[in-house]
Amino acid sequence: MAQITVYNERFYDKARQRGESRRSRTGRRALIPLAFLLPTMLILLALQVYPTLYAIFISTTRLRRGVAEPVGFANFERLFQLPSFWEGVRHTLTFAAFYIVLTVVLGMLLALLLNRRIKFTGVYLVIIFIPWVLSDVVAGTMWRWLFQPSYGILQEWVTNTFPFLRDPLYTNAAGSMFIVIAASVWQTLAFTTILSLGALQTVPNEVLESASLDGANRFQRFFRVILPIIRPTLLVMILLISIRAINSVGLIYTTTGGGPGRATQTLSVFLLQTGWRQGDFGSGAAISVVLLGVNMMLTLIYLRLLGRKAV
């Protein structure tokens, strides 16, 4: 009896050891993905999380004699009382509305055309993609030269084609906003075209043929068949374009500098001028926090729309 008891104890001890060894191996396997993710998480922490938290901290301070003095929400209160801030909000909304609509619609139209398997599709894609690889400074400088009052090629064409537009576009608010919007759409059109084309190519031909057999015309096939299928891609595209519109600063600043006056001074340009040209880092950080809130709101709206579609 004693031998049986000893045998049972040894059996259970070995089984327990095997279980602990198995759990240990499982735990080590679970740590392997974390080891691969750790460098990326550290980079994200250093380049995204820390600067964001530091900007929020700076927005509650005022720099005096090289020392950051805490002022609470005074920077935000002063910011919301500035007419130039609300003017920047209005310019941002105007720019974003035209920019988003034109970029998405024109990109979709080009994608529909290229999706018809026309000749030289690859050449057209290369031509369309060239503006996208240019930096904001290069693109802005090009458009500034094109509309220079004295020697700009496009400005001369506008003056000769539309006699009632004798004054250079750079000299009035509407003309400057038009130049900024046109330059931004021209640069980003490749992005929306490529995304739209990729989404269109995921639509099964059988579905389109079935819709045609049911008597659907081109418009009905697009709005009732194609559009619901590519809707997730469109939502991602609109989200990214919206964030780019709100945060756009390099192209606008290089093209018009926010002028004439403050005619093209969006919130991002206002941030640059307030934080760096005027040296008011507290107010500049407050503007960046406002932009952060807007970007987060857009992301939440996108996630809500995507979740509603999934349900």
Does residue 1 surpass a pLDDT of 60? no
- Average confidence (pLDDT) over 243-254: 90
Does residue 65 surpass a pLDDT of 70? no
- Average confidence (pLDDT) over 196-203: 87
- Average confidence (pLDDT) over 199-222: 81
Task: Identify the CA nearest to 197 among candidates 277, 108, 67, 309.
Answer: 108
- Average confidence (pLDDT) over 170-176: 86
Cis peptide, bond prior to residue 232, ω within 30 of zero:
no
Does residue 21 surpass a pLDDT of 90? no
CA atoms of 132 and 139, how far apart (whole Å): 9
Does residue 308 surpass a pLDDT of 50? yes
CA atoms of 161 and 140, how far apart (whole Å): 24
Does residue 210 surpass a pLDDT of 50? yes
- Average confidence (pLDDT) over 51-58: 86
Q: Which domains does the chain have, with CATH numbers?
A: 78-310 (1.10.3720.10)
- Average confidence (pLDDT) over 67-87: 87
Structure tokens at 14: 């070995």
Residue 86: its pLDDT value, please? 92
Task: Identify the CA nearest to 218 among candidates 72, 116, 94, 144.
Answer: 116
pLDDT tens-digit map of 85-123: 999 999 999 999 999 999 999 999 998 888 887 777 778
Does residue 194 surpass a pLDDT of 70? yes
